[in-house]
Structure 1
Amino acid sequence: MEEQTNIQKNNGKKSTGMLILIAVLAVVVIGVIIWGVGAVKEAHQEKILKEKQRTEFEAQLDSLMAIHNKIKVEYGQLSDSLAMKDSIIQARAREIKKMMNYKWEYYKIKKKLRALQKIAQGYVMQMDSLYTVNHALTKENHQIKEVLQQEKQKNAQLQSEKQQLKQKVEQASILHTYNFEVTAVHVTGAGRERKTDKVRRVSKIKVCFTVASNAVALPGNRTIYVRIARPDKKILVISDSEKYSFMFNGKRLQYSAKKTINYQNKAMDVCLSWPRRSTQELKPGLYHVDVFEGNYTIGQATLKLR
């Protein structure tokens, strides 16, 4: 009986131990489950945090590069001088983007992003400095151009005034004539000269005038040319040879008579004659006489023959 009682007591102890073991195992399992759920939740939250950080970094990077590229466009060709720095910025931006997509290291990415921001800020500062210098140079260049333009205008004005003065001096130095006397002359067999107004009796035509005094004109030898035109405007010439011609304002003209005088700024009388050749025909009517010196017509007169 006592032995049976001991057996029952032992069985009771075994059952209690088993219950305790089951209870401990249940607690452990529940703890593992709770820990697992917590770990999953934590991993999910960490994933959400990483995604949020990635989004923030991407936004910062995109904003930084958008501003950088906008600055490049705004500064135009001036940005070409900082092409090397721009290439560094572009390369680092690509490196950061690659790290965000394939290898997540929060503090490393954050550090690189901050470094990139500093480089970009330095780029802007250098660009502003270049712009300031370029603007100053452009302004200085504009001022220099304005000064040069003003000097050109002054020079042009001086040249114009000089040319006008030269023209005035040239005009003032032109010889002038007066007291014209144009006479048709008949030379007798005895060699005497007599005035005539009959075409058939004309042996020569004399043109006499006075050259006026002119203190401005250069003294020295002056060549006077006379052209006598018939009523039909044909010029009475000594010969058709080019030898009896002269240049007048770029044109070659035949002359009727020529004489070189020594002009000394005082009034002087001058006479020239056109000798008629036996083969030359004269016509009744009004003859026009023009006197030339240099590139100027210095006198005009007429002669009427019948």
Structure 2
Amino acid sequence: MPANSPETRSNRKLLIGGLLVVLISINGILIYMNYQKKEKTEEQAEIIRVKNSELENQIKVYEALKADFERQSQELQAMGLENDSLETRIMAIAADLEELRGFRKRSYSLADQRRFRDRASAFEKQLKDKDLEIAQLKQDNEVLFTENTDLKTTQNRLTDSLTTVKATNATLTDKVRLASRLEAQSLNVNVVNQRGKEKEDKDNEFRAKRVDKIRVAFKLAPNDVAAKEPKTVYMRLIEPDGAALYNLSTGSGSFEIDGENMYYTAKRDFVFDNTQQQLSFLYDKNAAYKEGKHIVELYADGFLIGKTDFVLK
């Protein structure tokens, strides 16, 4: 058959057409396969992006939970309370956070997502329950604070009232004590010589060499406030040098007045009966008396009740 015959040319055209169809088909298949591969790659990238987004969200949830539990712990500490279970939860959340952050470098599976979501839900419920408990504690503390404030106010008022009463009683006691103070009236000093003869002088001046004993006489002024009871009057005979005569053998001693220890020359016990009693001291020094001004002081119930002086020349 000739090479350029019509039949040969027709066969060539058919062959070329068939090759074109095959090439077009192969090209279409390649295009479809590339599209499928691209679509699968994009789908995998989207899955990874979603997983990463889920992981970061879960990390944020756990960070918020940890911050809230730490807040609760601080609130309890501020109220002076401790909660070991709360500290345990904070430690558990911190451990979960550490594990979640580790998934940034490895696969974060659906099972892991479900596990941490469930744990987060349980922690959130515990958080809400603890918030309600803390709110109730705060309310109770406010009530207690109010009650304590009221009690302190009442106590302060009672204390103030008691202080006022004590001060009033102390004032009244002082007034009664002052009002009940005895008073020595008509205080007189005479001297007794060796022959037992008593001498008086309106100027209270005597010759020292003739003095053997000294008599101090007085009467008690009427006092309706003073208790009718046994009392003691102390006499201090103060010599010209300023020292009180003191001799244990003649009955001298000491007593306290205004917190100060003071020596007395002689003392006398009596029963006060508010009848203007006459009392006296007869003092024997058993030695020569010094020349000069002598002072006589009388004390009873912690008060100076009389004072006079005389001169020995």
Instruction: Mark yes or no: TM-score above 0.5.
Output: yes
Query: Any idea what SS the aligned residue of 2:193 has?
Result: strand
Contact 2:181 2:226 in 1 (8 A): yes
What is the identity percentage for the equivalent residue pairs of Structure 1 and Structure 2?
19
Question: Which residue type is aligned with residue 308 of structure 2?
Answer: A
Question: Which residue type is aligned with residue 160 of structure 2?
Answer: Q
Matched, 1:283 2:290: yes
Q: 1:108 Cα shift? A: 5.1
How many residues were matched structurally? 297
- Cα shift readout 1:156-208 (whole Å, capped 9, x = no counterpart): 222222222222222222211111111223243xx433347111111211111
- Cα shift readout 1:95-152 (whole Å, capped 9, x = no counterpart): 3662464333355544543443333233323222222212222232232222222222
Map 1:1-306 → 2, pairs under 5 A:
24-73=25-74, 76-78=77-79, 80-88=81-89, 90-92=91-93, 94-95=95-96, 98-99=99-100, 101-102=102-103, 103-105=108-110, 106=113, 109-188=116-195, 191-195=196-200, 197-237=206-246, 239-241=247-249, 243-249=251-257, 251=261, 253-255=263-265, 257-277=266-286, 280-306=287-313
Contact 1:248 1:294 in 2 (8 A): no
CA distance in 2, matches of 1:294, 1:79: 57
Question: Which residue type is aligned with residue 194 of structure 1?
Answer: K
CA distance in 2, matches of 1:211, 1:156: 37
Counterparts in 2 of 1:198 and 1:41: CA distance versus 1, 3 Å? same
Contact 1:230 1:288 in 2 (8 A): yes
CA distance in 1, matches of 2:133, 2:267: 82
Question: Which residue type is aligned with residue 244 of structure 1?
Answer: S
Unmatched 5+ residue regions in structure 2? 2-6
Question: Which residue type is aligned with residue 55 of structure 2?
Answer: R
Instruction: Please list every run of at least 4 consecutive aligned residues from structure 1 whose deviation after the TM superposition is greater than 6 angstroms.
Output: 6-19
- Cα shift readout 1:217-271 (whole Å, capped 9, x = no counterpart): 111322222121121123334x34495314233525241x332223212212212
Counterparts in 2 of 1:62 and 1:269: CA distance versus 1, 3 Å? same
Question: Which residue type is aligned with residue 190 of structure 2?
Answer: T
CA distance in 2, matches of 1:25, 1:108: 48
Contact 1:184 1:205 in 2 (8 A): yes
Deviating more after overlay: 225-234 vs 58-67: 58-67
CA distance in 2, matches of 1:86, 1:262: 80
CA distance in 2, matches of 1:203, 1:96: 110
CA distance in 2, matches of 1:25, 1:204: 160
Question: Which residue type is aligned with residue 228 of structure 1?
Answer: L
Coordinate RMSD, CA, aligned: 3.4
Deviating more after overlay: 135-144 vs 168-177: 135-144
Contact 2:190 2:198 in 1 (8 A): no
Q: State the TM-score, normalized to the length of structure 2.
A: 0.79
Q: 1:18 Cα shift? A: 7.0
Q: State the TM-score, normalized to the length of structure 1.
A: 0.81
CA distance in 1, matches of 2:194, 2:187: 21
Question: Which residue type is aligned with residue 125 of structure 2?
Answer: K
